[in-house]
Amino acid sequence: MPTVLIVGAGPTGLTLACSLARQGVGVRIIERSPAFHTGSRGKGLNPRSIEVLADFGLAERVRGSGRDREVFRKYFDGRFVTDTDPNEGLRPTPDAPYERGVFLPQTTVERILRERLAEYRVEVELGRELAGFEQDEARVTARLADGERITADYLVGCDGGRSTVRKRLGIAFEGSGDPETAMVVGDVELEGLERGYWHQWFGAKGALLLYPFAGSDSWQFQANPELDALGRVVEPSLESFQRIVELHTGRTDLRVRSASWLSTWRVNVRLAERYRVGRVLLAGDSAHVHPIAGGLGMNTGIQDAWNLGWKLAYVLTGQAGPGLIDTYQEERRPIAARTLDITTTAMNAVTERTRTPGVGVEVVRSDDTSGLGIGYRWSSLAADGLGGALRAGDRAPDAPLTDGEGHPVRLFDLFAGGHFTLLSFGRPAPRLDGPVRSFAIDAGAGSLHDGDGHARRAYGIEGEALVLVRPDNHLALTARADDREAVPGYLRRLRGL
């Protein structure tokens, strides 16, 4: 029997499946589509999502499949205005090695995650549609459209904004939609335009964005739609895309040769009333949808799964009590609510400020969209004993160290693998039972060495201290180095939840 059944094989479901399978949890992941999606849909990973995928050993594969430097070529009312790189001058830092996001199609992210999942001996089951499910105190039984029944300990709906799982649970999807505000999107092949730029046309006629994907002839097309004589949105087609290009550019030499994906996107801002009913949970777009400004949709889903994955695994392997799963909603739903606010504000900024020549979609960029500032200080899992600038619940920074033989070591490498990590600054690390790897820093022979002080500065540590890092690379606990009961007590509390 699978321990977890995941419904939906987008980035959220695949990240969750990888997290669980890596920790030895039995997983099945089903997808109702008969084939893998080919449309680009989302087109970027923010720095925090890259950190998540780095924990699976995928950072370089992801970065090598896309571009992290992009010049925005801007036009206003059809005329060229300027070229800008909104990330010019950004450099990696010791605590944040991925200073920029990566532009690449969602399909590529999904392929990379499927390949990693296959290494854990789990394959996506295509053409398997969920018809319904029942649950009791011990299990969930899912019914598929082809008649198969699957029994699991937990079911997670990662099946998008129209989620069957959410609807079957009867969970309200609170918020609003604006059917009058729409964009047409698609993947096209285009002749006559330089591929080294993200071309952005704004002006009185609306917007047209053409982004060239690395390693292919494909461009992502985003634009205000054509309207018919009654003001209704014209369904996207190759011909309508050609007319839109000519309308915004004023050029007839640009030819839209083919379109492999055509769609219409309408504004929706919605948040699930709750993320869990018994043994059934929601993640990603099934739990929240928001405007595309800022590119946070795919990223928020990946980070939902990153939060939920270790908690399910720890409960199912007996390392934590079942109450740990309740902290998933406690931590992630406020993040989703904040994301809805951020993206709505960003969408309004794009609408307003791009009426000024030379302004492009970089108006949505901020520390909020990088994901690096996301934390859970309010969480019941946050045990802060030091009260410094960095606190329990915050993202755990990276830092370069050296081992006893002078070889370089990074904190992110120590964190990878789905375990807790204890950093003992200034004295030998205590011996602990359970899922904890302990490392002493600047504590004499055999310890790690923070020669340049990057780790101490990143964590705000002076003198001796203990820092416990969660499996999702957030701080669980900070404590005095002589508090021998702080970490064992924290782990006992997890088991008693």
Cα distance between residue 225 and residue 181, in whole Å? 9
Cα distance between residue 473 and residue 416, in whole Å? 9
Say which range, 348-352, 392-396, 421-425, has the weakest mean pLDDT: 348-352
Ramachandran angles phi, psi of 160, nearest 5°: 85, 180
Given a cut of 70, whether residue 146 has pLDDT beyond it is: yes
What's the predicted TM-score (pTM) here? Answer: 0.94
The partner residues of 449 in beta bridges, in order of sequence, read: 402
* pLDDT tens-digit series, residues 190-248: 999 999 999 999 988 889 999 999 888 899 999 988 888 888 888 899 999 999 999 99
Q: How many helices (H) and strands (E) does the chain have?
A: 12, 26
Tally the residues of the chain. Answer: 497
- Residue 231 corresponds to which amino acid? G
Helix (H) or strand (E) holding 465, with range, is strand 465-469
3-state secondary structure of 274: coil
Q: Which of 230, 236, 121 is nearest to 185 (CA)?
A: 236
| pLDDT of res. 182 | 80
Given a cut of 70, whether residue 79 has pLDDT beyond it is: yes
The overall average pLDDT reported for the chain is 91
| pLDDT of res. 139 | 97
Helix (H) or strand (E) holding 83, with range, is strand 79-84
What does the DSSP 8-state code read for residue 249? H
The CATH fold of domain 4-67+101-175+268-370 = FAD/NAD(P)-binding domain (3.50.50)
Cα distance between residue 426 and residue 108, in whole Å? 44
- Residue 53 corresponds to which amino acid? L
Given a cut of 60, whether residue 364 has pLDDT beyond it is: no
Write the CATH number of the domain with boundaries 383-496. 3.40.30.120
Contact 189, 217 (CB under 8 A): yes
pLDDT band at 142 (very low <50, low <70, confident <90, very high): very high
Angle between the N-to-C axes of helices 326-353 and 297-316, in degrees from 0 to 180, rounded to the nearest 10: 170
* pLDDT tens-digit series, residues 409-466: 999 999 999 999 999 999 999 888 889 999 999 998 889 999 999 999 999 999 999 9
Given a cut of 80, whether residue 368 has pLDDT beyond it is: no
Please give the residue that has the higher pLDDT: either 167 or 2.
167
> Which residue reads 């900024």 in tokens?
349
The beta strand positions in 128-237, using DSSP E, are: 130-135, 140-144, 149-152, 154-157, 173-191, 198-203, 206-212, 218-223
> What CATH number does domain 176-267 carry, 1.10.10.10, 3.40.50.300, 3.40.980.10, 3.30.9.10?
3.30.9.10
The domain segmentation of the chain, as residue ranges, is 4-67+101-175+268-370, 176-267, 383-496
Question: What's the farthest any 2 CA atoms get from each other in the chain?
Answer: 79
Cα distance between residue 11 and residue 13, in whole Å? 6
Q: Which of 187, 202, 205, 213 is nearest to 44 (CA)?
A: 213
Contacts of 284 (CB under 8 A, 6+ apart): 8, 10, 11, 12, 13, 158, 160, 300, 301, 304, 305
Q: Which of 195, 224, 204 is nearest to 357 (CA)?
A: 204
Contact 434, 319 (CB under 8 A): yes
Cα distance between residue 342 and residue 144, in whole Å? 37
| pLDDT of res. 178 | 65
